[in-house]
Structures are given as C-alpha cells and as structure tokens.
C-alpha cells in the first residue's frame, strides 16, 4: 500500500511525500526511522482496476475537496508557503481535472490574488461556504484555524452523505434482485411453459392468467413500455427542475414517514453546523445565514433561512423566527439557539445542535435498515410466491389430468 504523509524534520522543515508499506503502522515506523515528526498520514486512494479515467466523465471527488482543506491547513501550520503547499497537494492528487484547477489557482496566487479570490474563480468546485470561510481567515489572519474548521465541516458533510448512501444500499440490492428475478422468469421460463398450458386447454387460475397477460404484454409491447418509462422519467426530471414544482416535491418529502424525518435531520444537522462554523470563523451573521441557505438541499429550509436573514436585518433574533416555524425547526432547536444568543455562545451552541442531529440521523439510518429488511423480504416472498403459484397450480392440474 502507498501512504501520503505530511511531516516535519527535527530542524522544523516541512516535508511531504509518499511512502510504501504493508499497513499504516509500518508506514509510521518507516517515517519515524527517518527522524521525522509525523503530522498526517493517509492511504493513497486507489482508482479502478483499469487504472485510468475518461477525462470527459471525470468529476472532482468530494473527498478531494476535504483533503485539500485538511492538507492545506497542516502545511500552513508547519510553515510552508501557500503556493508551495498547493503545489504539493497538486502532486498528490490523482484527479487530472483537479490538477488543472490547482495549476490555475497557483498561477492566480503567484499573480498576486488572494487564495479566496483564486478559489472563487472555480465555483463548480469551491462553493460560497468554502470561499467565505477562507476569505475571512485571510482578512483576520486566522487562515490556518479557518481551514481546520472548514475541513472538519466538510468531513462531517462527507460522513453525512455516506450514511444516507449506506442506508439505501440494502433496499437497492433487494429492488434489483426482484427486477432481475422477474425478468428472468418472464423472458426465459414463461415463454417455454405458456404454450404447454394452452395446448392442454385447461381452465387456468386467476394468478396464471394475470401472469400470462403481463408476460405477453411485456413481450409484445416491451420496447414501447420502456420508451414510455424513459420519457416519463425525463419529463419528471425536467419538471423537478422548475422551482415551484421542486418546492412542492421538497415540501411533500418532509411529510413522508421515515424519509421525512431523515430529511429533516439532514437539513437541521447541516444548517446548525454550517452556520456555527461560519460564525466561529468570523463571518457576519446575515452573510453566514445567506451562505448556509445556499448549501442546504431542501428548498423549504432555504426559504425559511431567507426569512431568518430578513428578521435579523430588522433587529430581531434567530430564535424568535425559528419559534414560529416549529413544523420544520423543532422547539429544541429554537430553545438552544435562544440560550446561545443570550449567553453570547451561539456558534458553539449551533455546532452542538448539529452534532445532536447527526446522531439522530445515525440512529434513523440504522432503524431504517431494521424496518425495511422484513418489509423487503415480505415483498420478495409475495413476488416469488405469486409466480410459483401461477406456474405450479396449472402444472399440477395437467399432471392430475394425465393420471385420470
């Protein structure tokens, strides 16, 4: 395995590079044997087995953005110049697209532009949250601390995404299994059995008639059905991009059982932690609310944060507005925010609330698997049972008729 590391020599000089070892423990031993003070070590991410990527389809992995902030904070901490730090990160990244962007950032910095301005030229990679935290850090002389806060926030967002993805893996596998099983029976098993049923001219049970009707329609009109489904998906996708329609979908999602509570937990965790980190980094409250609003995935929450920002401009508090919106901001959130505002410790309180809802989401994803498992197994059982009944019953009738 290969590991990328950031270390410092005994005389205080920063050093970065790649070391090869069977595991991280052995890699640390190798570096310690070189009299290096280890600051960070991570395994180099492997690409696919083919070892290449198609540039047209290559995006910037979210993890690369996390590692950029983490490594940049460490390198600045040990005294590496900004341009040299980014050049070192560029050498370690595997994404060719990200390398090109980092080249442009290095050229921009060498031309006299700030790091925030250089990042702002690539909004498809570095969003307003990223740029503003760094901008405030540069202006206040706390770039290192702000980068650490940013990397922690990004890492939390990364973990949040992975939890949601992990919760959907099992249902996806079950759904694909049902589709593959049904397709196999419809296209390979039934075409051989249906002619036998028709040849014996026996009265078929309802389940068999339904299955034959479904199979014949799929075989005769399958292409048209597929085109219709694809067209419907495309139309729904286009409609979902229209803001009023998208807003209604997002509002409806919050009312769904299980998924609704998970969506609330995700948005509350993201809202609280992001706003807390921005305030702690020195971003003014109205700007922090506007930036947080752009990072949320649900349009209803985005609209309400616009409302909070307007209330702040009128001289009111965040908690006063949240109290009016208990359907999407539980009373615990407004009470905690109110306490934070009164004690002058709002940013820490918000981060605490964010951590709480991350824990709630963790419990929700675990309970989702527990709830879905028996339901999905029941669905598989019903599908398999229906198909088995539809096939076996006529076969039994034919066999019985032959013995008479």
Identify the three-state secondary structure at position 179: helix
The answer to whether residue 381 is domain-embedded is yes
Q: Taking the mean position of all CA atoms in its chain, how far away is CA 29? A: 35
Give residue-wise pLDDT tens across range 60-81: 788 888 889 888 888 888 788 8
pLDDT at residue 404, rounded to an integer: 53
The answer to whether residue 35 is domain-embedded is no
Low-confidence ranges of the chain (pLDDT < 70): 4, 6, 11-17, 44-59, 401-404
The answer to whether residue 27 is domain-embedded is no
Distances (CA, A) of 89 to 93, 94, 184, 382: 6, 10, 49, 54
Regarding beta strands 14-20 and 37-43, do their DSSP bridges make them parallel or antiparallel, or are they unpaired? unpaired
- What gap in Å lies between CA 4 and CA 98, rounded to an integer? 17
Rg (C-alpha) for the chain, rounded Å, is: 29
From 278, 267, 64, select the one nearest 150 (Cα to Cα).
278
How many domains is the chain partitioned into structurally?
1
| Boundaries of domain holding 380 | 144-404
Helices (H), 281-345: 285-295, 299-313, 318-323, 331-343
Q: Which tokens in the block code for residue 191?
A: 């075409």
pLDDT at residue 50, rounded to an integer: 37
The answer to whether residue 368 is domain-embedded is yes
Identify the three-state secondary structure at position 4: strand
The answer to whether residue 109 is domain-embedded is no
In this structure, the number of other CB atoms found within 10 A of the CB of residue 118 comes to 24
pLDDT at residue 93, rounded to an integer: 84
The answer to whether residue 85 is domain-embedded is no
Give residue-wise pLDDT tens across range 347-376: 999 999 998 998 888 888 777 777 777 888
The answer to whether residue 231 is domain-embedded is yes
pLDDT at residue 382, rounded to an integer: 87
- CATH number of the domain at 339, please: 1.20.81.30
The answer to whether residue 351 is domain-embedded is yes
- What gap in Å lies between CA 69 and CA 80, rounded to an integer? 14
Give residue-wise pLDDT tens across range 104-129: 999 999 888 899 999 988 888 888 88
pLDDT at residue 137, rounded to an integer: 87
């Amino acid at each position: 395995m290969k590991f990328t590391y950031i270390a410092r020599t005994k005389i205080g000089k920063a050093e970065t590079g790649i070391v090869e070892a069977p595991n991280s423990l052995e890699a640390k031993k190798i570096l310690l044997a070189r009299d290096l003070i280890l600051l960070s070590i991570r395994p180099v991410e492997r690409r696919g087995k083919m070892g290449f990527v198609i540039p047209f389809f290559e995006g910037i992995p979210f993890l690369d953005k996390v590692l950029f902030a983490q490594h940049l904070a460490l390198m600045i901490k040990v005294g590496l110049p900004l341009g040299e730090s980014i050049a070192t990160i560029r050498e370690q990244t595997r994404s060719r697209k990200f390398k090109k962007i980092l080249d442009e950032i290095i050229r921009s910095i060498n031309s006299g532009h700030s790091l925030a301005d250089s990042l702002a030229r690539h909004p498809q990679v570095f969003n307003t949250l990223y740029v503003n935290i760094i901008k405030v850090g540069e202006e206040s002389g706390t770039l290192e601390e702000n980068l650490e806060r940013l990397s922690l926030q990004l890492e939390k967002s990364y973990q949040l995404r992975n939890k949601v993805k992990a919760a959907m893996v099992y249902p996806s596998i079950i759904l694909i299994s049902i589709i593959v099983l049904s397709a196999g029976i419809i296209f390979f098993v039934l075409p051989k059995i249906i002619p036998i049923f028709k040849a014996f001219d026996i009265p078929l049970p309802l389940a068999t008639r339904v299955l034959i009707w479904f199979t014949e329609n799929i075989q005769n009109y399958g292409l048209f059905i597929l085109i219709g489904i694809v067209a419907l998906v495309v139309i729904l996708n286009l409609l979902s991009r229209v803001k009023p329609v998208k807003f209604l979908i997002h509002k409806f999602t919050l009312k769904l059982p299980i998924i609704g509570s998970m969506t609330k937990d995700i948005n509350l965790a993201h809202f609280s932690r992001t706003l807390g980190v921005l305030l702690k980094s020195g971003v003014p409250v109205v700007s922090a609310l506007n930036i947080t609003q752009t990072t949320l995935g649900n349009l209803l929450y985005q609209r309400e944060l616009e409302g909070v920002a307007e209330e702040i401009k009128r001289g009111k508090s965040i908690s006063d507005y949240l109290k009016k919106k208990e359907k999407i901001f539980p009373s615990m959130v407004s009470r905690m925010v109110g306490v934070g505002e009164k004690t002058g410790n709002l940013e820490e309180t918000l981060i605490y609330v964010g951590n709480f809802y991350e824990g709630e989401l963790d419990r929700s994803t675990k309970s989702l698997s527990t709830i879905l498992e028996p339901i999905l197994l029941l669905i598989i059982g019903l599908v398999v049972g229906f198909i088995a009944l539809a096939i076996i019953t006529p076969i039994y009738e034919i066999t019985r008729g032959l013995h008479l």
